Amino acid sequence: MAIALSIVCAFTEAHLSNIDLRPHVIYASVMAYNIIYGLTWGPIPWLLPAEIFPQRARSKGMALSTCSNWIFDFVIGMWRPTLLPGVAAAITS
C-alpha cells in the first residue's frame, strides 16, 4: 500500500515529458491501493464487532455498528464540501 501511494505522490509531483502517462499511472496506483486495502485491512472493522459481541446481542450490536458507520459516513460526506474551503484558506494563509 505504501508503494502504491508513493507512486501516486511521485507521479503527481513529477515533471514528465510524456504527460499522457501520468493520469493512467496515478489511476492504476490508486486502484492497486484500494484492492490491497480491501484484501488486507479493509474487512477487519466488519469482522471485529461480530466476534466481540456475545451471541445473544450479536445481531443488535452489528446493526448498531453498521448504522453508526453509515451515519458518520453520511455526515462526513455532507460536511466536507462546506468545510474544505475553510481548511484550504487556513493552509494557504
Report the alpha-carbon distance of residue 69 to residue 88 in Å, rounded: 27
pLDDT of residue 60: 94
pLDDT of residue 46: 86
Q: Which residues of the chain have pLDDT under 70?
A: 89-93
pLDDT of residue 55: 93
Distance of CA 23 to the CA centre of its chain: 19
pLDDT of residue 73: 93
pLDDT of residue 66: 92
pLDDT of residue 74: 96
pLDDT of residue 93: 55
User: For the chain, how big is the Rg over CA atoms in Å?
Assistant: 19
pLDDT of residue 11: 84
pTM of the shown model = 0.61
- Joined together, the cell numbers standing for residue 37 give 486495502
